[in-house]
Amino acid sequence: GDSVTQMEGPVTLSEEAFLTINCTYTATGYPSLFWYVQYPGEGLQLLLKATKADDKGSNKGFEATYRKETTSFHLEKGSVQVSDSAVYFCAFGGYSGGSNYKLTFGKGTLLTVNP
C-alpha cells in the first residue's frame, strides 16, 4: 500500500552544519510531495512542497527535489540554526479510492541543533 519512509532520528547537529533527512515513498500515480515541520508544543506547518517530478520545493533555506526515478524527496539545508530544532515530517498527497485527496505522513524525524 501507499507509504512514506523517512530517516529515523533523532538527528543531532551543531549550528551551521549541513542537514539531510531522507524520505522515500511508495504510491500509485503521481503524488504531490511535502515536508511539514512541527516545533515544540505546536501543530504541523507546511515547510515546502513539490507537485511534479523534478520540481524543487524551497523555503527558509530548506530544499527538496521530487525525484520520480528514485521515489525520493530528501530534505536538505546548507547551514542549520538552533531555531531549526523541530520534528520534520515527509508526506505525500494523492487520491485514495475516489475523489478524496489524502495526505500520508512519515513517522517524523526529530532534529536537534546545538549552538
Partner 1 sequence: DSGVTQTPKHLITATGQRVTLRCSPRSGDLSVYWYQQSLDQGLQFLIQYYNGEERAKGNILERFSAQQFPDLHSELNLSSLELGDSALYFCASSVAGAGGYNEQFFGPGTRLTVL
Q: Which positions lie near partner 1, rule CB under 8 A? A: 32, 41-46, 49, 51, 89, 93, 96, 99-108
The CA-based angle 109-35-106, given to 5 degrees, is: 50
The position carrying cell 538527528 is: 11
Q: Which is nearer to partner 1, 45 or 79 (CB)?
A: 45
Q: Toward partner 1, which CB reaches closer, 70 or 99?
A: 99
The nearest distance, CB 65 to partner 1, in angstroms, is: 18
- Phi-psi region for residue 97, left (φ > 0), alpha (ψ -120 to 50) or beta? left
The CB-of-100 to partner 1 minimum distance in angstroms stands at 4
Residue with smaller CB distance to partner 1, 14 or 60: 60
CB of 81 to partner 1, least distance (A): 22
* φ, ψ for residue 15, nearest 5 deg: -55, 140
Q: Which amino acid is at 83?
A: S
